[in-house]
Structure 1
Amino acid sequence: MTWSRALKDAARSGLTIERAKLTPLIAIRGTAGVAIVIGLSLWFGSPALAVSSAFGAFASGTATFQRSMRPRPVLALAVAGALAFSTFLGYLAAAHVVAFVALLVGWTFLAGMAWAIGPVSGLTGTQTVAIMLITVTLPTSVLGALEHAALIAFGGLVQATLIVLFPVRPWGIQRDALADALAAEADYARRLRHDPVAPFDPAPLMDARLASAVTPRQAKRRPAQLHGPRGLAERVRPILASLADPVVGAPLEGPERDRARDLLGAAATVLDAVAHAVRHAKPVRLPPEAMATLEVPATGPMLSGPARRSAFRLISLLADAVELTDEPVKATRPTTEAERGHLLRPSVPKLVPAALRSLRREARWSSHIFRHALRVTVVAAVGYLLGAVLHFGHGYWAPLASVMVMRPDFAQTYARGFARFAGTLVGVAVAGVLMALAHPGVYASAVLALCCVFLMYLLMRTGHTVTSACIAAYVVFLLGIVGAGWEQTVEERLVLTLIGGVLAMLSYAVFPAWETPRLRDRLADWLTANGRYALAVCDAYARPAERRPRQVREALLDSRAARVAWEESEARAEKEPVRHHGLSLHAARAATAALATMGRVTMILEAHLPDKEAEPSPGAAAFAAALRPALDRASEAVRDGAPLDWSAPHAAWEHWYAEGDHQGLAVRTVELLLDALDDLAEALPPDP
Structure 2
Amino acid sequence: MSWLRALKETARSGLTIERRRLEPLIAIRGAVGLALVIGVGLAFFGPVVAASSAFGAFQAAIATFQRSWRPRPVLALVSGASLAVSTFLGYLTGSHTLLFLALLVLWTFLAGLAWAAGPTGGIIASSNVAIMLVTVTLPTSVANSAVHAAVILFGGVVQAALIVLFPVRRWGAQRDALADALAAEADYARRLRHDPLAAFDPVPLMKARSAAAVTPWQARRRPPELRGPRGVAERIRPVLASLADPAMGVPAEGPERDRVRELLAAAGSVLDSAARAIRHGDPVKLSPSAVAVLRTPDTGSLLGGPPRRAADRLGALLSDVIETAEGAGTKEEDAEAEEAAAAIEAAGEEAPGAPHRRRPTLLRLVPVVVRAMRAELRPGSPILRHAVRVAVVVAVGYLIGAALPFGHGYWAPMAAVMAMRPEFTQTYGRSVARFGGTIVGVSLATAIVRTAHPGVTSSAVLAVVCALLMYLLMRTGYVVGQACVSAYVVFLLGMAGDNVSQTVLERVVLTLVGGLLAMISYAVYPAWETPRLRGRLGDWLKADGRYAAAVVGQYAEPAERGHDDVRSALLDTREARVAWQETLATAQHEPVRNRGLSRAAADDTQHALAELGRVAMLLEAHLPCGGATPVPAAARLAEALRRATERGAKEVRERRVPDWAEVREALEEWDARQRTGEGGTDPFVRDGAGLLLEALEEFSRGLDGTSKPVRPRRRAD
TM-score (norm 2): 0.93
Deviation at 1:300, TM superposition (A): 9.4
Corresponding position of 2:381: 367
CA distance, structure 2, for counterparts of residue 40 and residue 620 of structure 1: 72
Structure 2 CA distance for partners of 1:685 and 1:264, relative to 1, 3 Å? same
CA distance, structure 2, for counterparts of residue 327 and residue 649 of structure 1: 47
CA distance, structure 2, for counterparts of residue 462 and residue 628 of structure 1: 46
**Aligned equivalent of 1:570, options 571, 584, 590:** 584
Deviation at 1:299, TM superposition (A): 7.9
Alignment partner of 1:249: what SS? coil
- CA deviation digits over 1:270-321, x for unaligned, max 9? 0000000000100010111000111133489711110110000001100111
- CA deviation digits over 1:556-579, x for unaligned, max 9? 111111111111111100110111
Structure 2 CA distance for partners of 1:241 and 1:33, relative to 1, 3 Å? same
Deviation at 1:157, TM superposition (A): 0.1
CA distance, structure 1, for counterparts of residue 494 and residue 404 of structure 2: 22
Structure 2 CA distance for partners of 1:208 and 1:335, relative to 1, 3 Å? closer
Contact 1:526 1:563 in 2 (8 A): yes
5+ long unaligned stretches in structure 1: none
Deviation at 1:17, TM superposition (A): 1.0
Aligned counterparts, 1:254-403, within 5 A: 254-298=254-298, 302-327=302-327, 340=354, 343-403=357-417
Deviation at 1:625, TM superposition (A): 2.4
**Aligned equivalent of 1:537, options 551, 560, 566:** 551
CA distance, structure 1, for counterparts of residue 459 and residue 642 of structure 2: 68
CA distance, structure 2, for counterparts of residue 662 and residue 328 of structure 1: 41
Counterpart of 2:281, as a letter, is A
CA distance, structure 2, for counterparts of residue 586 and residue 358 of structure 1: 35
**Aligned equivalent of 1:678, options 682, 689, 697:** 697
Structure 2 CA distance for partners of 1:551 and 1:662, relative to 1, 3 Å? closer
CA distance, structure 1, for counterparts of residue 71 and residue 299 of structure 2: 53
Contact 1:246 1:252 in 2 (8 A): yes
Deviation at 1:334, TM superposition (A): 10
Aligned counterparts, 1:80-479, within 5 A: 80-298=80-298, 302-327=302-327, 340=354, 343-479=357-493
CA distance, structure 2, for counterparts of residue 203 and residue 283 of structure 1: 26
Deviation at 1:231, TM superposition (A): 0.4
- CA deviation digits over 1:211-250, x for unaligned, max 9? 1111112111111111200001000000001001111111
5+ long unaligned stretches in structure 2: 341-353, 675-679, 707-717
- CA deviation digits over 1:626-677, x for unaligned, max 9? 2222122101110011121101101111221333377621111111111111
Contact 1:429 1:490 in 2 (8 A): yes
CA distance, structure 2, for counterparts of residue 334 and residue 308 of structure 1: 27
Moved more, 545-554 or 184-193: 545-554
Deviation at 1:328, TM superposition (A): 8.2
Deviation at 1:38, TM superposition (A): 0.2
Counterpart of 2:204, as a letter, is P
Residue 675 (structure 2) pairs with residue 667 (structure 1):
no
Deviation at 1:453, TM superposition (A): 0.4
Alignment partner of 1:486: what SS? coil
CA distance, structure 2, for counterparts of residue 14 and residue 264 of structure 1: 40
Contact 1:662 1:668 in 2 (8 A): no
CA distance, structure 2, for counterparts of residue 144 and residue 562 of structure 1: 51
Contact 1:283 1:327 in 2 (8 A): no
Corresponding position of 1:604: 618
Corresponding position of 1:56: 56
Contact 2:631 2:682 in 1 (8 A): no
Moved more, 385-394 or 318-327: 318-327
Moved more, 413-422 or 44-53: 413-422
Corresponding position of 2:712: none
Counterpart of 1:668, as a letter, is D
Aligned counterparts, 1:557-636, within 5 A: 557-636=571-650
Contact 1:256 1:301 in 2 (8 A): no
Give the RMSD, CA atoms, in angstroms: 1.8
CA distance, structure 2, for counterparts of residue 686 and residue 648 of structure 1: 22
Alignment partner of 2:302: what SS? coil
Contact 1:520 1:583 in 2 (8 A): yes
Alignment partner of 2:17: what SS? coil
Deviation at 1:686, TM superposition (A): 8.5
Structure 2 CA distance for partners of 1:350 and 1:675, relative to 1, 3 Å? same
- CA deviation digits over 1:313-342, x for unaligned, max 9? 00110011111112489xxx9999767265
Corresponding position of 2:656: 642
Deviation at 1:99, TM superposition (A): 0.6
Alignment partner of 1:364: what SS? coil
Deviation at 1:45, TM superposition (A): 0.7
Moved more, 200-209 or 348-357: 348-357
Corresponding position of 1:508: 522
Deviation at 1:595, TM superposition (A): 0.8
Structure 2 CA distance for partners of 1:335 and 1:533, relative to 1, 3 Å? closer
CA distance, structure 1, for counterparts of residue 280 and residue 658 of structure 2: 50
CA distance, structure 2, for counterparts of residue 438 and residue 362 of structure 1: 51
Contact 1:622 1:652 in 2 (8 A): yes
Counterpart of 1:612, as a letter, is G
Deviation at 1:159, TM superposition (A): 0.2
Deviation at 1:506, TM superposition (A): 1.3
- CA deviation digits over 1:439-462, x for unaligned, max 9? 211011001000000000111211
Tell me how many residue pairs correspond in the alignment. Answer: 684
Contact 2:60 2:76 in 1 (8 A): yes
